[in-house]
Structure formats: C-alpha cells, structure tokens
Amino acid sequence: MGIPIAGQLEKILPNVHRLCAANPGPMTGPGTNTYIYGNSELAVFDPGPALAEHVSNILAAQDTLSAPITHIFASHTHQDHSPAVAELVEHLPDAKVLGIPAAPGQQFEDHSFKPQIVPHDDQVFELDAGLVRAIYTPGHVSNHLCFFLEEHRFLTTGDHLMNGSTVVIIPPKGSMKDYIESLRKLQNYPIEVMGPGHGDVINNPAEVVEWTIQHRLVREAKVVAALETHAGLTIQNLVPKVYDDVDEALHGIAAMSLHAHLIKLQIEQRADETETGWRLLTTV
Ligand SMILES: [Zn+2]
C-alpha cells in the first residue's frame, strides 16, 4: 500500500478505504488512520483527533463514495482516536456510535466519547457491507477493541498493533500481561490483513503478531536477567540495563513499559517491589 498520506482517501480493499489525519508525531507515526468500510452505507472506524479538517474529510467521503455514514466505531478513547466522534455526530445525528467509554475521572482520556452501544467481546454486528466482529483487546489500555471485517478478513487494530512504531503500555490503564494475552487471542481469528491505527497496512498479520509477542518476551527476559544480577534495582536504575539497545531520548517512555513488565512479573508472582527496589522471587 504505502505510507498513509494525510487527507487522502485511499482504497485499500474493495469497500475499505483509509483516510489519514494530519497529526504526525513520534507516538502517532504518519498520523491516525481512519478506516471507512461499506457500499451503500458506511461505517467509520477510529474517526481520530478533533481536527476540523479531518472531520470534514470524513464527511466528504460520503459524497466521494456516494453513501451515508451510519455507524461510527472507536477502538479506544485516547485523544488521537475518538475525539472526532463527538464532532461527527453533530453532523450525523442518526449514526450509531459503538465502543467502550473511558472510565470516569481518568486523565488524558476523551470523555466526550459517548457510545450508544458498548460491544461485548466477540459480538458481531451485521452492517450493510458485511459482518463486523468486536474483539476485546485490553493491554494498550483497558477499554480497547479491535474490529474484524469478516468479509475481507481485515482487522482494524487501533493501537493494539502499529506499523513502524512500538505500542506503549502505561500502567495502570495499560497492562503488559493483558497485552500479550490479547495478542495471543488474535491468533484464533483468520486475519489476512491488518489496518493499524498508525502506519501502513500489515499484510503478514500472523508473523507480526508472533514477532510482537516474542519481542515483548525477549524484553521481559532482559528484565529478569537484570534483576538476577542486581537485586533491589529501581526502575530508573533498571532502564539503562534493560533498554541498552534503545536511544536514551526514549528512556522516559521505556520506563513506563518497564513498569508494565514488572507489574506482569508481580502478578505472576515472579518478582516483587521492596522499599529499595524490585527483586525476583525464588521459584521452586
Ligand atoms: Zn493512537
């Protein structure tokens, strides 16, 4: 396909189009990808940030594709994925909004996202252009969904998988244990193509999912190895040991992922935190 180009409606499969928002950055890659699916009625996946131009581009797709938008899905409620929903709904009062709202009081979440339908795991929606299955995929955040367009075996991944950048897991909303389990869960579906929230289309989903799981487990093994030789390390002291292959400028973000790894080890009763730092628990 190629790297998404902001503002261009690009056809990626029959009945599936991609429209990239103009919000490029270190965490968003070329920008947030909005996917538009359908023939005589359109479903929009991840309308993106509250950028007026992007909202008008989404609305204009109705003219280009000669069909009205009837459904709006959001993968999660980060500021680069769902805020455009509220603006779209002002223009599309009859459209149905689907997704999981942010928990009350959570910082940095989009609280303007108010879905009429909160899909349960594996719920299938019959749309004009085909079946859409909601797959609950906590990990990046706890209210994350992927959507599987069964007709094309196409999965919109939101931020569960990206192309070109690493998914950040920030506790407590993010969970490394959930993230790895949600990746394994995807292996149960016959996915052929993935449309990530950021970056180009993924044409080898099985390999990418397996690679991502292994990549996280390799990092986890580095955490364990570091604690084996230096018990009682704080996160600040662990980061340069565990992320010695990562640019120091990214060590602040790495510290958050490291915390997520440590919490996973704690839940699995393989490590715990003492007053002086983290240590491994001896296994029998
Ligand atoms: Zn995102």
Instruction: Give the E-state strand segments of 152-268 in sequence order.
Output: 154-158, 193-196
Q: How far is CA 236 from CA 184, 225, 242, 252, 265, in A?
A: 30, 16, 11, 9, 17
Q: How far is the CA of 135 from the centre of ligand 1 (A)?
A: 17
Ligand 1: distance of its center to the CA of 259 in Å?
A: 20
Centre of ligand 1 to C-alpha 158, Å, is: 7
Average pLDDT over residues 94-101: 98
- Per residue in 28-42, pLDDT tens? 999 999 999 999 999
**What pTM was estimated for this model as a whole?**
0.94
Same domain? 113 vs 242:
no
pLDDT at 43: 98
- CB-CB neighbours of 39 under 10 Å: 14
Q: What is the pLDDT of residues 146-165, one digit of tens each?
A: 999 999 999 999 999 999 88
Q: Quick one: 268 and 178 in the same domain?
A: no
32 CA from centroid of ligand 1 (Å): 6
CA 81–ligand 1 middle distance (angstroms): 6
29 CA to centre of ligand 1 in angstroms: 9
The last residue of one of the domains, among 203, 237, 272, is 203
Q: What's the gap in Å between 38 CA and the centre of ligand 1? A: 23
Q: Is pLDDT of 284 > 70? A: no
If asked whether residues 66 and 199 sit together in one domain, one would say yes
Residues 249, 185, single domain; the answer is: no
The percentage of the chain sitting over the pLDDT mark of 70, rounded to a whole number, equals 99
Q: Which domain holds residue 23?
A: 9-203
**Cα–Cα dist 55/62, whole Å:** 12
Alpha carbon separation from 21 to 6, 44, 157 (Å, rounded): 5, 13, 16
Whether residue 126 is contained in a domain is answered as yes
| DSSP at 25 | B
- For residues 157 and 66, membership in a common domain is answered with yes
> Cα–Cα distance between 275 and 268 in angstroms, integer?
20
Q: Cα(226) to centroid of ligand 1, in Å? A: 31
Confidence bin at 230 (pLDDT 50/70/90): confident
Residues 194 and 237 in one domain: no
CATH of the domain at 36: 3.60.15.10
Q: How far, in Å, CA of 45 to CA of 95, rounded?
A: 13
Contacts with 24 (C-beta within 8 Å, 6 or more apart), sequence order: 6, 30, 31
**pLDDT given for residue 190 in this prediction:** 98
What is the CA(216)–ligand 1 centre distance, in A?
19
User: Residue 137 Cα, ligand 1 centroid: separation in angstroms?
Assistant: 14
**11 has a pLDDT exceeding 60:** yes
CA–CA distance, 169 with 263 (Å, rounded to integer): 11
DSSP 142-184: TT-EEEEEGGGTEEEEETSS-SSSPPP--TTT--HHHHHHHHH
Q: How far is the CA of 22 from the centre of ligand 1 (A)?
A: 13
- The answer to whether residue 238 scores a pLDDT higher than 90 is yes
Same domain, yes or no: 226 and 129: no
pLDDT at 196 over 70: yes
The answer as to whether 4 is a domain residue is no
Residue 202 to residue 193: CA distance in whole angstroms:
6
Which of residues 145, 176, 203 is at a domain's end? 203
| Structural domains counted in the chain | 2
Task: Measure 36 CA to ligand 1 centroid, in angstroms.
Answer: 17
Residue finishing a domain among 178, 203, 228? 203
* Sequence-ordered list of residues with C-beta below 8 angstroms from that of 78, at least 6 positions apart, any chain: 108, 109, 110, 141, 159
CATH of residue 224 = 1.10.10.10
Residue 27 alpha carbon to ligand 1 centre in Å: 7
Do β-strands 278-280 and 271-273 pair in parallel, antiparallel, or remain unpaired? antiparallel
Burial letters 194-226, b for 16+ CB under 10 A, else e: bbbbbbbbbeebeebbeebbeebeebbebbeeb
